[in-house]
């Protein structure tokens, strides 16, 4: 995949021209239009060219190249640097994370995508189909891409909720096991990663809504409230799922303990039943001359019958008490 996905200039909400990276500085001289460039895992050389054309801060460019940042928003002079993490479910039903970095200036926006294999061409096409909103400038583009990223958290969290339901079925409808405990632990790790990814969004949206940022117009700032509401909702969904998962883990441990206790009861019951003939055989196996019923013709059968009767009585009592 090429590093520069798209680079175009927009004026009055409409795409005016495709722009070469080395000509961006000429386009930026016209304050009536802005440049929107999309990058995918750019090399140091490409980032250096982008920094030169847009006048980006060294620290922000370094963060965009390393691509292992926490979600944040930073202001460097008149430009804005925003970091978001993306999430998606792969074919193995595991959560994969990526990063998207935004450089927003007075008449430009640079979108740098790392890890995620979902392009933002859909967002660009949707924005270009709404010139009345795109005319608000690069601030609206920032909102549109951020909204696209945050909305993709909903199917991820929903998938994790479905996994939780499957785990609950295994716990309560099947035999509890250590494998279920391992599944719960892995799901807790994924939920924790989602929590770390989504939680900073609330603070990011607050800053974008409330602070006076030159690169985002006052008309665009209210749009970030929509992302804020989605972030709060996802946080609540994650918290609820984590709480249910903790309860499921406790229930799994409890059922495993009960199952082990039931096994112990069965062992104890059978041991008590087996102890009766063992005890009788031990008595009659002692080397004494005078033992009851030894000289009686039916003594052996009487002892055998009595022993079997005692075993059956114990079995009945243990069975009625639930031990067997």
Tens-digit pLDDT profile for residues 297-318? 676 777 778 778 877 887 777 7
Residues 6+ apart with CB under 8 A from 133: 13, 127, 140
Sheet holding 33-40, edge to edge: 14-18, 4-11, 33-40, 108-114, 95-104, 79-89, 72-76
What does the alpha-carbon distance between residue 160 and residue 177 come to, in Å, rounded to a whole number? 20
Q: Could you tell me the domains of the chain?
A: 1-131 (3.30.460.20), 259-321 (1.20.58)
Strand partners, 89: 95
pLDDT, tens digit (0-9, with 9 covering 90-100), for 90-133:
877 788 888 999 999 888 999 999 887 788 889 999 999 999 99
What does the alpha-carbon distance between residue 71 and residue 76 come to, in Å, rounded to a whole number? 16
Strand spans (E) along 105-202: 108-114
Q: What is the pLDDT of residue 106?
A: 86
What does the alpha-carbon distance between residue 192 and residue 213 come to, in Å, rounded to a whole number? 32
Among 78, 201, 79, smallest CA distance to 143 is for: 201
Among 78, 63, 141, smallest CA distance to 109 is for: 141
Residues of the chain with pLDDT under 70: 1, 176, 258, 260-263, 265, 283-297, 299, 323-324
Q: What is the pLDDT of residue 82?
A: 92
Q: What is the pLDDT of residue 111?
A: 93
């Amino acid at each position: 995949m090429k590093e520069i996905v798209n680079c175009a200039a927009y004026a009055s909400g409409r795409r005016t021209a495709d722009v070469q990276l080395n000509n961006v500085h000429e386009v930026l001289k016209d304050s009536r239009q802005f440049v929107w460039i999309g990058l995918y895992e750019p090399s140091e050389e490409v980032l250096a060219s982008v920094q030169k054309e847009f006048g980006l801060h060294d620290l922000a460019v370094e963060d965009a190249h390393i691509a292992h940042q926490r979600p944040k928003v930073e202001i460097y002079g008149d430009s804005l640097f925003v970091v978001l993490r993306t999430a998606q479910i792969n074919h193995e039903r595991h959560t994969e994370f990526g990063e998207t970095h935004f450089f927003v200036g007075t008449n430009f926006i640079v979108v740098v995508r790392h890890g995620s294999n979902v392009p933002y061409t859909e967002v660009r096409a949707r924005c270009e189909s709404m010139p009345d909103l795109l005319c608000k400038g690069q601030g609206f583009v920032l909102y549109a891409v951020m909204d696209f990223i945050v909305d993709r958290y909903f199917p991820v969290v929903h998938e994790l909720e479905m996994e939780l339901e499957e785990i609950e079925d295994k716990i309560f409808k099947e035999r509890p096991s250590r494998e279920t405990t391992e599944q719960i632990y892995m799901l807790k790790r994924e939920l924790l990663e989602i929590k770390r990814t989504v939680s900073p969004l609330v603070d990011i949206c607050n800053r974008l809504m409330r602070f006076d940022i030159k690169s985002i117009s006052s008309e665009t700032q209210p749009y970030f409230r929509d992302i804020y509401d989605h972030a709060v909702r996802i946080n609540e969904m994650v918290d609820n799922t984590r709480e249910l998962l903790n309860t499921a883990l406790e229930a799994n441990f409890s059922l495993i303990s009960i199952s082990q206790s039931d096994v112990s009861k069965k062992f104890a019951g059978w041991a008590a039943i087996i102890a009766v003939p063992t005890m009788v055989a031990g008595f009659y196996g002692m080397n004494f001359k005078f033992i009851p019923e030894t000289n009686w013709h039916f003594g052996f059968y009487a002892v055998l019958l009595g022993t079997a009767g005692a075993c059956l009585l114990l079995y009945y009592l243990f069975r009625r008490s639930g031990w067997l």
